[in-house]
Amino acid sequence: MPVITCIEDLRQLAQKRVPRMFYDYADSGSWTEGTYRANSADFQAIKLRQRVAVNMENRSTVARMVGVDVKMPVAIAPTGLTGMQHADGEILAARAAEKFGVPFTLSTMSICSIEDISAHTKAPFWFQLYVMRDRDFIERLIDRAKAAHCGALVLTLDLQILGQRHKDIKNGLSAPPKPTLANLINLMTKPRWCLGMLGTPRRQFGNIVGHVKGVENMGSLSEWTAKQFDPALNWGDVEWIKKRWGGKLILKGIQDVEDARLAVDSGADALIVSNHGGRQLDGAESSIHALPRIVEAVGREIEVHMDGGIRSGQDVLKAWALGARGTYIGRAFLYGLGAMGEAGVTKALEIIHKELDLTMAFTGHTRLEGVDRRILLHGSYPGSPGS
């Protein structure tokens, strides 16, 4: 086993162990992938101010996200097909998050179902909702999340239509993989993954198959989902969902100040500044670049979170300094999962926590409450003088 010191180490190991179509699904963006790359690059452009001769004892990274105590202001983001990165992937990631003390968010397009996660965890997890044309299905999905005692509903607003990801088309992405010659040859090089999949019955979209009339297999599922993402989704639907849900509501996919104000008006508990990991509108600005403007506009009226490009604890601290009161990791935990299963997700969280803790200390702080833009070098961060 190679020595793992950073998220990049986990990425490289996952690339070796996960079938190409599923690794590429996680590690790609739409069209030119410009926004996908900018999400990480713009974090790297932000520079930190090192402080010295400051008492660094008794540090703590604890915080609260929508009223939930967390070991650090990080949640596991909802990602589709997680159970194809590693057998029972959503269950493993949820267990790792629960043990570590951060929220886990299950995607509508997960392989393991809401009920699977509920049966394998004790702490309330969060559920991410895509709005489909079939409103009866959506109502039942919300009710299933209620029955599982999910702690928050994360409503994704930026997937009314699907952005084009070239790698998925070229790989013929499907769950389980289509038995083409190219796929079979690739699977022969991934024995760990294949053995894991042979040992689990969870190989399809668990929240959908068996819960929608006429959808009993992957063929009928593909036909159904192609017609179901609702391009007519609007703020009136958000109000309807909020009433149906009745609990904490987080709106994901906000990139514009005008939309952030509408999120406040909707009565949601939090919003997530997000460009869907660069997987939807290529050419959109990075999440960290959009964050300060949205915090300035609505940060006193709604809890502002962000995702996109976070690969280290330093990224988490930079986002916190610019006003985010919660962050989400998607690819970072998927790399860990694909590399080492549950232990890999735990490793990813440990790496990010250690980097966050040490960087906070190097910038002269022992608590996140005291961290703000003053830890950042002027001119290096979006919205700063000279930037």
222 is known to lie in a ligand binding site: no
Residue 203, number of CB atoms within 10 A of its CB:
17
Answer yes or no: is 30 a known binding residue.
no
276 is catalytic: yes
Spatial separation of the C-alpha atoms in residues 28 and 17, rounded to whole Å:
17
308 marked as part of a ligand binding site: yes
Q: Is 113 annotated as a binding residue?
A: no
Q: Is 311 annotated as contributing to ligand binding?
A: yes
Q: Is 23 annotated as a binding residue?
A: no
Q: Is 307 flagged in the annotation as binding?
A: yes
- Token output for 270: 């939090």
Instruction: Give the residue from 264, 271, 253, 266 showing the smallest Cα distance to 301.
Output: 264
Residue 8 buriedness (CB in 10 A; 0-12 / 13-18 / 19+): middle
Q: Would you say 80 is a known binding-site residue?
A: yes
Catalytic-labelled residue, pool 166, 211, 276, 353:
276
309 is in an annotated binding site: yes
Give the CA distances from residue 233 to residues 80, 237, 310, in Å, rounded to whole numbers and listed in that order. Answer: 20, 6, 28
- Give the β-pairing of 74-76 and 303-307: unpaired
130 is in an annotated binding site: yes
DSSP symbol at 48: B
Is 25 labelled a binding residue? yes
Altogether, the residues listed in the chain come to a count of: 387
Phi, psi (rounded to 5 degrees) for 379: 90, -10
Residue 128, marked binder: yes
Annotated binding-site residue? 36: no
> Which two tokens mark 34?
């410009």
**78 labeled part of a ligand binding site:** yes
* Tokens matching residue 165: 């990801």
Question: On the CB side of 374, how many CA atoms lie within 13 Å of its CA?
Answer: 8
What one-character-per-residue DSSP string does 291-336 give? Answer: HHHHHHHHTTTSEEEEESS--SHHHHHHHHHTT-S-EEESHHHHHH
Between CA 266 and CA 371 the distance in angstroms is 29
Which residues define the annotated binding site? Answer: 25, 78-80, 107, 128, 130, 156, 165, 252, 274, 276, 279, 307-311, 330-331
Which residues define the annotated binding site for FMN? Answer: 78-80, 107, 128, 130, 156, 252, 274, 307-311, 330-331
Which residues define the annotated binding site for glyoxylate? Answer: 25, 165, 276, 279
Residues identified as active-site? 276
